[in-house]
Structure 1
């Protein structure tokens, strides 16, 4: 960690803590969705008109009077409110990051500002998730927004902690190739995460019970309309509004995307392995990919256990963070004088 004084150290600790807290927010968001608690509180930002879940008989009666179509389920309501409380706390910490960043000219400014804007937009998406009764495109965007905040916090932490990466044994030509492949890999992983979000938002996770793709007739059931982001208006999107064939289509594309993602990530891991400075990143990529595949298969054969599904969500995020880290290291290398072309050894020059 590069620090010049205690204030810089505290700033680094604040960013690190916020990163850990953001992981908790994502995990709680997944748990809330999987326990069908996304509408545990039918209003926003409170719960049945209160700052906390109604507890007394009088409060519960008031909730029943104002929301007669949505009976209070305390456990689901608490799941939802706990997620909101911790997400709100993360917003406060990101505001503090911005205040500290602008107090000292040497501190990064762009990432803190982007984080603050993302938190504000994420809060709006959280509101729309409730007011638009779990509209799939909003639920997916909310998931991607949470992942974006985690990655931005991690990038800020890397920026504060990492010196120029010493990669003097990587040729400039190799660095350029690595950078292109690493950027492409991030795009592929993000697309796969979006497909996972779309699968979850449309309740398509359990429609295929066979491996590796789906039941034998999935080709006949395939319907491209399943991927239209704007769906017909419904009173509620909870439990899904698409037909069986459309859900199968979503699930199959997610599985095919997983195959493509596996090939791309393994290719990136192999390229990293060829460079001694990136071998630790290569091992992390392979480990996370293996775990993610195992969790995905377990979701299918065990019918989506909540703990496994949450772990699948978090491991996907971990894979994205790992890929972002590779991109950061390669980019820093390409922008620094430490990445120099490796001169030929004398025996090579006579080859």
Structure 2
């Protein structure tokens, strides 16, 4: 199914003159993608503020939809995190309805992939509940972020696949470089989730515990960084490469350097500046999204027959 997304695009006529159905569905998909980035940032803020158990029950908070009597910063962060997740779930349901209602005007894969997104968000909700009932168990917290990133990847892939695009047929090899980079960034994000969910930085610096996990995350920066820089250089040295791919390559390169800078600052400041930690999580998600977008467009570009 993922292969069909990477190799599918609307017909040339639809791509140049998208129907109202495609425009509306695409707009909803990008709203979901933005809300997902916000959700992950709020989730990171909830963790650094030690607010993961601020609402001791689930799915309600202190048995209420809006816990006004108990509201403080920690409760607000956890409550708002759940609210954003609920809104994304509702939008995913709407996406399924729209995709099947307008299925004759949409690519064949879209209704099925909308069901996949709904399944992922339901599973994500279950993991969210387990993070509370299991008292922030690190493996569940890591799976929670990993599923959120998979959901984000799926949504971005769908949105990019529906964009109008005229390729040049020059990205055949670049698609594999960007795909490799996306996989490496995803794996590095999972290691980062393990570091965060176990407070590995504090454990390592204060008690010399879990330093292997910390070092794995630090060393793990190298493979994705080298891959993304190779993508940027290769893209810039391909004169006929389309402008959208060129922009995405530059964006990925810039995000890599920003992410490394945030990681170094977070390490040396020992997580004392919460906005840096939250930004580190958000920029990592955006980097992954840019690489996924490049990959999808590159696979579409590779289908262009040069004359």
User: TM-score by structure 1 length?
Assistant: 0.75
CA contact (8 A) 2:167 2:300 kept: no
Greater RCO (CA < 8 Å, at least 6 residues apart): 2
1:250 positional shift:
1.0
1:110 positional shift:
2.7
Partner of 1:12: 26
Task: After superposition, give the CA deviation of every residue in 1:198-235 in whole Å (9 maximum; x if it has no partner).
Answer: 100110134566xxxxxxxxxxxxxxxxxxxxxxxxxx
Is the counterpart of residue 49 in structure 1 residue 63 in structure 2?
yes
Partner of 1:314: 282
Is the counterpart of residue 36 in structure 1 residue 32 in structure 2?
no
Partner of 1:167: 168
Inter-partner Cα distance in structure 1 for 2:16 and 2:58: 41
Partner of 1:252: 215
Is the counterpart of residue 329 in structure 1 residue 297 in structure 2?
yes
CA contact (8 A) 2:178 2:228 kept: no
Judging changes above 3 Å, is the alpha-carbon distance between structure 1 residues 5 and 167 closer, same or farther for their aligned structure 2 residues?
closer
Is the counterpart of residue 154 in structure 1 residue 156 in structure 2?
yes
Inter-partner Cα distance in structure 1 for 2:274 and 2:102: 44
Q: Which structure 2 segments of 5+ residues have no match?
A: 1-14
Structure 2 matches for 1:85-234, cutoff 5 A? Answer: 85-105=83-103, 106-107=105-106, 108-163=110-165, 165-168=166-169, 170=170, 175=172, 177-207=173-203
CA contact (8 A) 2:204 2:210 kept: no
Judging changes above 3 Å, is the alpha-carbon distance between structure 1 residues 257 and 82 closer, same or farther for their aligned structure 2 residues?
same
Q: For this pair of structures, how many residues does the alignment match?
A: 284
Inter-partner Cα distance in structure 1 for 2:189 and 2:29: 25
Greater mean alpha carbon deviation, residues 28-37 or residues 18-27: 18-27
Partner of 1:237: none
CA contact (8 A) 1:40 1:73 kept: no
Judging changes above 3 Å, is the alpha-carbon distance between structure 1 residues 299 and 43 closer, same or farther for their aligned structure 2 residues?
same
1:158 positional shift:
1.0
Partner of 1:287: 254
Partner of 2:78: 80
Task: After superposition, give the CA deviation of every residue in 1:44-103 in whole Å (9 maximum; x if it has no partner).
Answer: 001122222251xxxxxxxxxxxxxxxx68332221111101110110011101100000
Structure with bigger gyration radius:
1
Inter-partner Cα distance in structure 1 for 2:229 and 2:305: 24
1:116 alignment partner, SS class: helix
CA contact (8 A) 2:29 2:95 kept: yes
1:14 positional shift:
1.7
Is the counterpart of residue 302 in structure 1 residue 300 in structure 2?
no
1:154 positional shift:
1.4
CA contact (8 A) 2:21 2:102 kept: no
1:246 positional shift:
3.7
Q: Which structure 1 segments of 5+ residues have no match?
A: 56-71, 210-242, 343-351
Task: After superposition, give the CA deviation of every residue in 1:174-198 in whole Å (9 maximum; x if it has no partner).
Answer: 71x3333222222211110111001
1:271 positional shift:
2.1
Greater mean alpha carbon deviation, residues 284-293 or residues 1-10: 1-10
